[in-house]
Amino acid sequence: MTIISDDNNIKHKIKTKNEDTTPAETSFDMSFEANIRPKCFDEYIGQSSLKSTLKISIEAAKKRDMPLDHILFYGPPGLGKTTLASVIAAEMNANIKITSAPALERPRDIIGILMSLKAGDVLFIDEIHRLNKISEEILYPAMEDFYLDMTTGKSQTLKSIRIPVPKFTLIGATTKAGSLSSPLRDRFGIIHRLEFYSDEELTQVILRTAKILDVETDEKGAIAIARRSRGTPRIANRLVKRVRDYATVKYNGKINEKTADEALDILQIDKFGLDNTDRALLKIISEKYNGGPVGIETLATALGDDAKTIEDVYEPYLVQKGFLQRTPRGRKLSPFACKCFNLKYTEIQKNLFD
């Protein structure tokens, strides 16, 4: 067992690859991601109302010497659901086991991981909406009353037995809360949506990451990256690395407004944070479907991508920024998109993306 953080007296233990892990468990590596990941609430920037709620629940659970209620996080990818789960485990002085629903396909996967837990552990299941029905049903009594319902023997000698599971906290994460079955959703005591980050919050994330990476970065450089990070810390951190590369090759390695803007222009990320795929998506709606509405499957075919990626990855930010509207009849460009480019609706279709 490796103690990776001892900040603020928090002993946060994360199991390493060959150490006491079950096959379904994802091992943690000490990569770039792990290195820059906040380890406690004080280091975690943004999501302030969620953090306040969680801090109270954690303090109450500690006072009662009970595990924290099960928690469900939902929202677009890259907003820090896994990071937050690790922070919660650290704040609870607990171990965390990290897995994802596709790794829990067979009953023995979920049983194995549940049986490997120790009292107080946090179990994090990513993409929990993808859990199959059998695994879900194994999980219900474990979540509710901390036991597993198992059957032994064959036909006439079939016996049902109950095996206790240590009291644990399940943290589920999903980009699609609506796809979760209601019996599963109802078993979470705390349900929270993670919000896109403001430019100010992303600037703080970028300055923190740059400091850990030891890249000299001024505030204006951080703001320039933040503006084009589509409200998402994962993207902001990725762009920091790209800008650092550019600044190293073309200048003196320092990140400032000039190096950031030049590097991001080369990456073809525009001032709204949109990349080539976002622009292609809007362009298709505009040119091929007269601004919409167009069904998601049709749009996916025209774009050459799958509907799930459009829905989970591209759409949330385009909707949040007001470029795209979801209507019962399909997706369409918003009046804001027209206003933003100072064009009449019909003009958009020929001029917007020339």
Q: Catalytic site residues?
A: 81-82, 126, 175, 234
Supply 6's token pair.
């001892």
- φ and ψ at residue 65, rounded to 5 degrees: 55, 45
Smallest distance from the beta carbon of 245 to ligand ADE, in angstroms? Answer: 19
Pull the structure tokens for residue 275: 């990349």
Given its phi and psi angles, is residue 114 left (phi above 0), alpha (psi -120 to 50 degrees) or beta? Answer: alpha
Distance CA 187, CA 69 (A): 9
Q: What element of type H or E holds 248?
A: helix 233-250
- 87-116 core/surface letters (b: 16 or more CB in 10 A; e: else): bbbbbbebbbbbbbbebbeeeebbbebbeb
**Residue 225 CB, nearest approach to ligand ADE (Å):** 13
Residue with the two structure tokens 């064009």: 343
Residue 8 CB, shortest distance to ligand ADE, in Å, is: 15
| Residue placing its CB nearer to ligand ADE in the complex, 43 or 216 | 43
Q: Are 53 and 192 in contact (CB under 8 A)?
A: yes
Can you tell me the distance from the alpha carbon of 282 to that of 310, in angstroms, rounded to the nearest whole number?
A: 12
Quick one: 40 or 343, whose CB is closer to ligand ADE? 40
Q: In the complex with ligand ADE, which residue's Cβ is closer, 10 or 302?
A: 10
Q: Which is nearer to ligand ADE, 12 or 208 (CB)?
A: 208
Q: Return the number of the residue (83 or 174) whose C-beta is nearest ligand ADE.
A: 83
**Token reading at 304:** 């050459």
CB of 127 to ligand ADE, least distance (A): 19
> What does 83-122 look like in DSSP terms, one character per residue?
HHHHHHHHHTT--EEEEEGGG--SHHHHHHHHHT--TT-E
Q: Site residues (CB under 6 A) for ligand ADE? A: 36, 38, 43-46, 80, 83, 205, 208, 233, 237
What span, in angstroms and rounded, lies between the C-alpha atoms of 95 and 10?
A: 11
CB 237, min distance to ligand ADE, A? 6
The residue type of 306 is D
281/121 Cα distance (integer angstroms): 43
Q: Which is nearer to ligand ADE, 33 or 270 (CB)?
A: 33
DSSP 129: G
Q: How far is the CB of 265 from ligand ADE (least distance, A)?
A: 24
Tokens standing for 254?
């320092």
